[in-house]
Amino acid sequence: MSAGIVLERMLPDQAGVMPPGTGTLQKQRVYIFPTRQGITFACMLLIMLLGAINYNNSMAFVLTFFLGGLAMVCILHTYHNLAGLVLTGIAPQPVYAGETALFPVTLDNRVGYQRYAIALDQAAQRPWLKTWQRVSADTLYTDMPARHLKTVYIQVETTRRGIRPLGRLKISTCFPLGLFRAWSWLETGQTCVVYPRPDGNRPLPPATIDPLEDQKGNQIGTDDFIGFRKYRPGDSTRNIAWKALARGQGPLVKRFDGKGASKLMLGWHAAGHTQNTETRLSQLCRWVLRAEQQGIHYGLAIPGFHIEPGHGEQHKHLCLRSLAGYGLA
């Protein structure tokens, strides 16, 4: 356990939930190398040693060797400060393009000593020689008390909609003396869904009333109970048949006759005249949000996707995720 950093890989279960402590553990190698200060320190020791030899000065030898011993001990302590930490990447909340995505990473210090100044940053794609010493301005530093679990958020600026992977993480420390840096590369596999930026000022297309339905009124269909169906994520909890659940029949949802519900299909062509896909996606995104806000049942009909009209938080995210992934793989 002490030999390296342990990365816990979370495999989401069928419901997309990742309970902690169930991931697979991967051991990552911890590297250690002198920092620039460490190299300066070594040069100073060399000068001291030459001076001590030349002057044949015993106490100068003592001090030089003392500092040399200190550096050696420092290697162990720096390594010790990092090795054995358990990291878990947690799925981040989706964001709209232009917002800052927060990738939660849980640091788990399971040992009986405190760790100090653990630095987390995104490893640039540059070779390690360029990155091992530099600390970028957005590096996160955190201390880990003994037997303590802590979640830190890695901030990533997003510019485009799509799926943004966190990429390689570098976890490092220079504690206690800054002469050495111990580090490890981690591939947490976290991705953040980046929705299109809601934009565009076209009005919401008029809702169409389904001609097959009775044209009695405009109320939302919650009146007449017509039966049960299986629970789907996103269904309102008000409609869950709790009694059926208590009887052990599994989660069922009560269905009501949706007489008079206004339905809206948000289509590709209504979203813009220009050929710019991103502008259209932004407009669609805004419409989805507005429709959700106004309580309209809406669906999405864009090339490659056809989402039946629906309503609710889950439905909204389904639509937005479709928009985010439009045209990507």
Q: Is 40 in the site for another protein (CB under 8 A)?
A: yes
With a CB cutoff of 8 Å and minimum separation 6, the contacts of 13 are: 19
Q: Is 74 in the site for another protein (CB under 8 A)?
A: yes
Q: Is 193 in the site for another protein (CB under 8 A)?
A: no
Contact 179, 34 (CB under 8 A): yes
Outline where DSSP puts E strands in the chain.
5-9, 24-28, 31-34, 86-89, 95-96, 100-109, 115-122, 140-144, 148-157, 162-165, 168-173, 180-187, 191-195, 208-209, 225-230, 252-256, 262-267, 297-302, 305-310
Q: Is 22 in the site for another protein (CB under 8 A)?
A: yes
**Cβ closer to another protein: 20 or 267?**
20
Q: Is 87 in the site for another protein (CB under 8 A)?
A: no
Site for another protein in 154-173 (CB under 8 A): none
Cα 289 from Cα 323, distance rounded (Å): 12
Both tokens of 97, joined, read 């393009």
As a residue count, the chain comes to 329
Q: Is 60 in the site for another protein (CB under 8 A)?
A: yes
Sole binder of another protein in the list 46, 50, 226, 245 (CB under 8 A): 50
The minimum distance between CB 167 and another protein, in angstroms, equals 18
Contact 298, 263 (CB under 8 A): yes
Q: Is 265 in the site for another protein (CB under 8 A)?
A: no
**Cβ closer to another protein: 181 or 263?**
181
Sole binder of another protein in the list 94, 98, 167, 178 (CB under 8 A): 178
Residue (of 223, 235, 205) closest to 261 by Cα position: 223
Sole binder of another protein in the list 9, 31, 33, 67 (CB under 8 A): 67
Cα 103 from Cα 253, distance rounded (Å): 34
From edge to edge, which strands make up the β-sheet containing 262-267? 208-209, 262-267, 297-302, 305-310
Under rule CB under 8 A, how many of the chain's residues touch another protein? 72
Both tokens of 316, joined, read 């909204």
Q: Is 117 in the site for another protein (CB under 8 A)?
A: yes
CA 122 to chain centre: 12
The minimum distance between CB 123 and another protein, in angstroms, equals 14
Sole binder of another protein in the list 9, 77, 255, 290 (CB under 8 A): 77
With a CB cutoff of 8 Å and minimum separation 6, the contacts of 3 are: 27, 30, 83, 84
Q: Is 58 in the site for another protein (CB under 8 A)?
A: yes
Q: Is 183 in the site for another protein (CB under 8 A)?
A: no
The minimum distance between CB 132 and another protein, in angstroms, equals 14
Sole binder of another protein in the list 15, 137, 212, 329 (CB under 8 A): 137
The minimum distance between CB 110 and another protein, in angstroms, equals 6
3-state class of 5 per DSSP? Answer: strand
The minimum distance between CB 175 and another protein, in angstroms, equals 5
The minimum distance between CB 94 and another protein, in angstroms, equals 24
With a CB cutoff of 8 Å and minimum separation 6, the contacts of 94 are: 192, 193, 194, 195, 317, 320, 321, 324
**Cβ closer to another protein: 66 or 217?**
66
Q: Is 48 in the site for another protein (CB under 8 A)?
A: yes
Q: Is 139 in the site for another protein (CB under 8 A)?
A: yes
Sole binder of another protein in the list 33, 116, 128, 132 (CB under 8 A): 116
